[in-house]
Structure 1
Amino acid sequence: ADSHGAGEEHSHAHGGIFGKNTELIFAIICGVLLGIGFGLSFVESVPQWISLALYIGAYFFGGFYTAKEAVETVAKGGFEIDFLMLVAAIGAAILGEWAEGALLLFLFSLGHALEYYAMNKARKSIAALAELAPKTALVKKNGKTEEVGIEKLTIGDIIVVKPNSKISADGVVVDGQSSVNQAPITGESVPVDKVPVENVEKDYSEVDDIKDENRVFAGTINGNNTLEIKVIKAAKDSTLSRLVKLVNEAQTQKSPTQLLTDKFEKYFVPSVLILVGILLFAFLVIDEPFSASFYRAMAVLVAASPCALAISTPSAVLSGVARAARGGVLIKGGRPLEDLGELTALAFDKTGTLTEGKPKLTQVVQLGDISENELLKIAVAVESLSDHPLAKAVVRDGKERLEGEESPDASNLEAVLGKGIKATLGNDKIYVGNLDLYEELNDTNPSEEIITKVRDLEGGGNTTMLLRKNEKYIGIIALMDTPREAAKKTLSELKEIGIKRMIMLTGDNQKVADAVAEEIGLTDAWGSLLPEEKVEAIKKLKKKESKVAMVGDGVNDAPAMANSTVGIAMGAAGSDVALETADIALMADKLETLPFAIGLSRKAKAIIKQNLWVSLGIVALLIPATIFGFANIGVAVVIHEGSTLLVVFNALRLLAYKK
């Protein structure tokens, strides 16, 4: 089967005496010789052999690469279109139709060269990824800086990145503040502000969750200030180099359409050869010279070559994957690229995917005659003694609301596991906790009215803390893991492009799940799920909806992702697990890129369909046309090569896809 451009079979390393465009130049020389020879054949005074010599020259230049590739393939025991073309050209020469044969080789080699050029364009936009990282870095040792190749960098080295230059390694900022353009890796259009880590001595190479404002990636572009960066990954393991590796592997993963066309070719090519064999003996049945039968058989050979078919899917997959990578979406192959466009349902993990993943202070309710500031000061004082994530959130957001007003110092912290804390503030005893804490104390129970208030807040998806000073209840503080800013807008965009069901799967309780679902506009919310129950939920969805994607952060959602049609990971630039487990990875931690990816996939699917119709349609028209002699070899080649180029250039439209 012919498969030039499908990747493995042809390396297309067409060097030669004219550099990498030799194939194109050879094709043009062939055309020029053919033209002159053809023109001279009409001039009486010029002897016949001069034209013939020019045709033979044309054969050499036109057939050089075709023959080279045909011989290489036959040596491996395969038949390719190049071989069929060569047979047809030699056949024409045997019949004395040198001009025909030369034209055949000219058009074929020209088409081949142009198609190679076009496919290279798509490959180049992928190769451009690999070129993102600079080749050298400025390393700081004992106060001096020296330039070294990035392959020499080791974990823990400190590199200096000048303003407006590219960052050469994955690392954490240890000195300087700047904003970094991360678009080449994550597709984020807005630069991200970077600040140094708190503990410069620490080894961050094993730390998974490094804050976005501390970490930088190879290939991203520094803003207006100098940064000093501590390397946390060797060059070969950087996010960028793994991205490039994955994109290159993606080209080899065949899509459903590709597998279908491969199967078709497997049966189609031998049947064409049998048909040609039969046509060679047509002169025994109908009254015509052998040369006429031979010529017809050669024309059919050219017409039936499934060139365009072979390249229609790979070229579209290549362009689609390249375009997605530029937008910060990694698609690992033809299969997820095609499946993504057919999704009808999306399942989302809640924490960190639909929500920020960190609780925020949402409400402060005063009980009795105490001002909000007074209440917050007490809460901040007591909670700053604890290192619980909720306590940290109270301190962070409380201080922000107090706008720099000092809060007193508390002491003697006592934690009651899972229920709350007690501490001393001046002469007062302060309690902060949930209702269970006060049931356990059982000395002064909160009134029914207070309990109802707490339950209402919890019903709205909040986590609540009730504060008591000595014997008196003074206030309620409510916290909630708030939805991402972009979540609501993104979900309504997804609804517009026809995603019918959007389901949230979460380990949080059902009340919280419902509250978040209502706020951002989900169709279903399933709460209180363990990781293995998420897998069950995906299987259940798959029965109802044919194709389901699981969107998560890849760490605890890996089993659910593996069971969905397409696993989509968020924030893959930060987490290694997400890059490995998902079929599709959104490099930036942003939901907004999801509608873009789905739109791109649909466009790719449409282009693949158009390509298949064009390539199969032309073969179906050309075979009968050549059998019944409506089209000669020249016409067959023009249409055949034309359709191949049409298919390739159609696929390249994906590179220009806009959101």
Structure 2
Amino acid sequence: MTDKLRLDIPIVLPGIPDASDACVERLLVELKGREGVVAAHLKIEGADVSPQICVHYDPATISLSRIRELVTSTGAVITSRFGHLLWQVKGIRHPRHARTIEGEIKSLPGVIEAEVSSTGVVRVEFNNDQISAAKIEQALVQRALAPLDVGGAADTHRDHQHGGNDQAHAHEQGKEHEAHEHGGILGPNTELIFSLICGAFLGVGFVVEKFLGAVPAWVPIFFFVGAYLFGGFYTVREAIENLRLRKFEIDTLMLVAAAGAAALGAWAEGALLLFLFSLGHGLEHYAMGRAKRAIEALAALAPATASVRRGGEIRDVPVEELQVGDVVVVRPNERLPADGFLTQGTSAINQAPVTGESIPVDKEPVDDISEARRRPDAVGAASRVFAGTINGAGAIEVEVTRLSGDSALAKVIRMVNEAEAQKSPTQRFTERFERIFVPAVLVLAVLLLFAGLIIDEPFSATFYRAMAVLVAASPCALAIATPSAVLSGVARAARGGVLIKGGAPLENLGSLKAIAFDKTGTLTEGRPRITDVIVSEGVTETDLLVAAVAVESLSDHPLAAAIARDGRERLKDAAIPEATQLQSLIGRGVKAVLNGETVWIGKPDMFGAEGIPPLSEAMTSAAQRLRAEGRTTMIVRQGSRDLGAIGLMDTPRTSARAALQALRDLGISRMVMISGDHQRAAEAVAKDVGIDEAWGDLMPEDKVDAIKRLRAESKVAMVGDGVNDAPAMANATVGIAMGAAGSDVALETADVALMADDLQHLPFVVGLSRHTRAIILQNVYISLGVVAFLLPATILGLGIGPAVAMHEGSTLIVVFNALRLLAYRDKFK
């Protein structure tokens, strides 16, 4: 376990009167529940000092960028003290090189965290008081790495860059494909070309030496030296970088072995070693490039230009110039350029590129454009559209609600790129293993040099054996085994409309035995309907519904939306006054002011607690009757008078039962529904969808306790909407948010985000994670198995040539084994 870090994060609380607000309390609950966070508490040092959240965390388990996401999604904004960079760079050659660069960046003063992936993704967290983004970029350039522009669909990285450094923007995402190209004088495939030239020199030298005995002895050596120069070019560069950091990596071992072979006069075998080693690296890059391109394909989904209606005419403008409120015209079969809502036209939109939905979704204009502008996040799925999706046969007009850099597609691209740089538990284990294993191999090789003191053989044979052991024991395949599988798994999930934030949730999801589900919007449609209205004596249904609609229209909770929507339908043309001062009583209800009187709307349990007078006998009886029928029950009180009770019923998702059965088939042995609803209502829904355990009457803090109880027994995932369920999701092993394409909070708080509001994607991602975990284990077994075979074999006399052939062969096997994940089929659609 690495050393724990303490971080004091200055925060700004927009629109929040003080640091004791529930927003901050929710953030602390979320942080404390995250694996890797040892402690989190609020520091308030004085009126003239901004409040700080003090977080003690393990950077090997949770990254600072993940903490940043949780802070910002809760409503607190990190101040300019900390900067965050996410770059695509050109020049990373392989995982060992990535680790070398990572170590160099971490050594820079002011760098808090750094992660570098073999595909060229560099993520850096730094302190602006000590180092700037420009200096970090300069350090990369000094190491022959070129940060690429990554904008286009992803636009600028404003929400991740808090240091005010323009250089830290994530730039042109459309050019990301260059990231895996490690460059050189002969273009992106220089290393592969050099290895082939090395092979050509080796072949000519071998023919001259074996079949043309009349030529001078220096001629074949000339060709072998040429092979050394081309085959060892990148190896020498890597070895020098490692030695500068006082590290002995695999490249150093290979170079020592090749130099040793030359010292013994075995030029051909040394050249063969470098040829196969460099060829393996070149092919490894080519194969890994396939996985990388699967992610990069996301960036090409959004069109470069949009047809905008401005000044009475339609003109084409770059998508980067679109502004919130612009109206874009989308013709049949065109890709949508921005997130927004329909104002005119109807069509069926293919949302598969973003949400993974296999069937086009019918879209229609919003009923109230002004209301949609005021609350764009509350626009229904039937009117909301996303950049990168494909229009059907009808021409439509869409009002833009997000800038190009803030679209759901841009966020997915950005988060997938960050996920590449975040290491899984197995990857961290293999890196720790290598740090111990490589020096141990060097010690073994040195000891073998003295074998002549025990057995009767010339020093040349002893030296040759020691070099062969160096080659055999180099864990190249182990270094690439996990990152190649994680990259392929994350890429395949993204293509299927699921965002997985790194190797840790991917592996954890693959080993789960239990899943907890929120009820509303997860196992149900999330569109409850009013089924019953019971009024008190002397109160009309109109009185009750006018008060309820006036207050609930201010809230965005699903139950509030249902009361406002269905209440308006029942009231028809009745005038509805405006309520003010809405206050959410989390997990219980709301209160507001209407016509000078306080109106409470909430669960029956809310009344009679925390200073709120209890219900009348008539209302208590009505609530019990509704609950007995499995209704979600809301009581309405205005002033001191109980107006009545409203019963609601949510419809279970038609796909829920099949999805849950598919999860059982995958090995999920325990599924629990947790809900704030009355136990009877929760049990009614659980019975409909096929869940045996239903825990009702839970406040948000009770849901957290429920998850903690489940987690004490085994790993558990929590599936919810990412907003009301955020604390419970934070305390689960893996938090899974549904319908994340339309919710910024869900995208940022979840470990796994199902972009579509479709439960069928859950068996897909669990199955993919299980398959990924199996491939990771296969790769680790293959890589360690080859080393375990070659180590004694070379000690007993196996030559360098066969050893390096098996060594590089195992590297390619694990890479191509990982690439099988890109072809994983969704069996549950």
Which TM-score band (shorter chain)?
0.7 to 0.9
CA contact (8 A) 2:501 2:751 kept: yes
* Equivalent of residue 614 in structure 1, options 778, 782, 785: 782
Partner of residue 812 from structure 2, selected from 597, 621, 645? 645
Matches within 5 A, 1:47-196: 47-196=216-365
Amino acid at match of 1:249: E
- The one-letter amino acid paired with 1:181 is N
Cα deviation code 1:531-587 (max 9, x no counterpart)? 1111111112222x3111111001111100111111111111111111111111111
Alignment deviations for residues 335-384 of structure 1 (CA, whole Å, 9 cap, x no partner): 111111222221111111111122236799xxxxxxxxxxxxx9999979
C-alpha deviation, 1:60, in angstroms: 2.0
Q: For the residues of structure 2 that align with 1:508 and 1:382, how far apart are their CA atoms?
A: 22
> What's the counterpart of residue 483 of structure 1?
652
Structure 1 residue 599 corresponds to structure 2 residue 785: no
Q: Which residue matches 1:429?
A: none
After the TM superposition, which residues 548-587 of structure 1 pair with which residues of structure 2 at under 5 Å, given as runs?
548-587=716-755
Query: Closer, same or farther in 2 for the Cα pair 1:556/1:9, shift >3 Å?
Result: closer
Task: Give the deviation of 1:312 after TM superposition.
Answer: 0.8
Give 2:821's aligned residue.
654
- The alpha-carbon deviation at position 150 of structure 1 amounts to 2.1
2:801 maps to 1:634: yes
Check the 8 A contact 1:15/1:21 in 2, yes or no. Answer: yes
Asked if structure 1 preserves the Cα contact closer than 8 Å seen for 2:201 and 2:227, the reply is yes
1:425 is aligned to none
Q: Any conservation in 2 of the 1:167–1:220 contact (CA below 8 Å)?
A: yes
CA deviation vs aligned residue, 1:221-272 (integer Å, no higher than 9, x gap): 1112222222211222211111111111112222221222122111111111
Q: Deviations over 1:384-432 (max 9, x none)?
A: 9973734743776x9xxxxxxxxx9886999xxx9xxxxxxxxxxxxxx
* Alpha-carbon contact 1:381-1:410 (below 8 Å) kept: no
Q: Alpha carbons of 1:196 and 1:384: their partners in 2 closer, same or farther (altered >3 Å)?
A: farther
Once residues 240 and 497 of structure 1 are traced to their aligned partners in structure 2, the CA distance between those partners, rounded to angstroms, is 30
Correspondence for 1:459 among 595, 603, 628: 628
How many residues matched? 597
Distance 1:162 1:79, change over 3 A: farther
- Contact 2:632 2:677 survives alignment (8 Å): no
Bigger drift between 258-267 and 45-54 goes to 45-54
2:266 is the counterpart of 1:266: no
Question: Aligned to 1:508, what secondary structure does the other structure show?
Answer: coil
1:393 aligns with 2:393: no
Task: Letter of the 1:31 partner, please give it.
Answer: G
2:576, 2:531 → 1: CA distance?
25
Cα offsets for 1:201-220 (capped at 9, x unmatched): 56737632221122211111
Aligned equivalents of 2:720, 2:400: Cα separation in 1 = 28
Matched, 1:3 2:96: yes
Larger Rg: 1
Determine which of 1, 7, 14 is the counterpart of 2:182. 14
User: Are the aligned partners of 1:107 and 1:637 in contact in 2 as well (CA < 8 Å)?
Assistant: yes
Match of 1:405 in 2: none
The CA distance in 1 between the partners of 2:244 and 2:736, in whole Å, is 43
CA distance in 2, matches of 1:226, 1:9: 42
Deviation at 1:73, TM superposition (A): 3.3
- What is the Cα deviation at residue 291 of structure 1? 2.0
> Structure 2: how far apart are the matches of 1:441 and 1:603?
57
Q: 1:394 to 1:518 in 2, by over 3 A?
A: farther
1:585 aligned partner, one-letter code? A
- Measured after TM superposition, the shift of residue 197 of structure 1 is 2.4
How far off is 1:455 after superposition? 7.1
Shift in alpha-carbon separation, 1:114–1:150, aligned structure 2, 3 A: same
For residues 546 and 743 of structure 2, the distance between their equivalents in structure 1, rounded to whole angstroms, comes to 30
Q: How does 1:33-52 map to 2 (within 5 A)?
A: 33-41=201-209, 42-52=211-221
Whichever residue aligns with residue 514 of structure 2, its letter is A
* Counterpart residue number, 2:197: 29
Partner of 1:311: 480
- Change over 3 Å in CA distance of 1:411–1:572 after alignment to 2: closer
The residue type equivalent to 1:310 in the other structure is A
Greater Cα shift, 281-290 or 118-127: 281-290
Instruction: Measure the CA separation in 1 of the matches of 2:117 and 2:651.
Output: 52
SS at match of 1:301: helix
Distance 1:564 1:36 in 2: 61
Mapped partners of 2:323, 2:811: distance in 1: 48
- Is 2:698 the partner of 1:529? yes
Task: Give the TM-score taking structure 2 as reference length.
Answer: 0.67
- Paired position in structure 2 for 1:209: 378
Q: Provide closer, same or farther for how the CA distance between residues 48 and 91 of structure 1 changes in structure 2, counting only shifts above 3 A.
A: same
1:133–1:218 contact (8 Å) kept in structure 2? yes
d(CA) in 2 for partners of 1:615, 1:151: 46
Whichever residue aligns with residue 507 of structure 2, its letter is: E
Question: Does the aligned pair in 2 maintain the 1:2–1:79 contact within 8 Å?
Answer: no
- Structure 1 vs Structure 2 CA RMSD: 3.3
Alpha-carbon contact 1:332-1:583 (below 8 Å) kept? yes
1:547 to 2:715 alignment: yes
- Equivalent residue of 2:527, what SS? strand
* CA distance in structure 1 between the partners assigned to 2:564 and 2:213 by the alignment: 101
Aligned letter for 1:116? Answer: H
- Whether the aligned pair in 2 keeps the contact of 1:34 and 1:102 (CA below 8 Å) is yes
C-alpha distance 290-412 of structure 1, shift in aligned 2 (>3 A): closer
Report the Cα distance in structure 1 between the residues aligned to 2:519 and 2:243, rounded to whole angstroms. 56
Contact 1:156 1:203 in 2 (8 A): no
Bigger drift between 16-25 and 484-493 goes to: 16-25
Task: Classify the secondary structure of the residue corresponding to 1:85.
Answer: helix
Q: Which aligned pairs between 1:244-263 and structure 2 lie closer than 5 A? A: 244-263=413-432
- Tell me which residue corresponds to 2:669: 500
- Structure 2 stretches of 5 or more lacking a match? 1-93, 100-114, 121-179, 534-539, 553-561, 578-588, 590-603, 608-614, 635-644
**C-alpha distance in 2 between matches for 1:578 and 1:390:** 24
Structure 1 residues 2 and 252 mapped into 2: Cα distance closer, same or farther (>3 Å)?
A: closer
Picking from 476, 497, 509, the partner of 1:328 is 497
What residue ranges of structure 1 are gaps of 5+ in the alignment? 365-377, 399-407, 419-433, 446-450, 466-475
Q: Higher relative contact order at CA 8 Å, sep ≥6: structure 1 or structure 2?
A: 1
Distance 1:291 1:160 in 2: 77
CA–CA distance in structure 1, aligned partners of residues 286 and 815 of structure 2: 10
Q: Is the 8 A contact 1:569 1:584 kept in 2?
A: yes
Alpha-carbon distance change, 623 to 391 in structure 1, aligned in 2, over 3 angstroms: closer
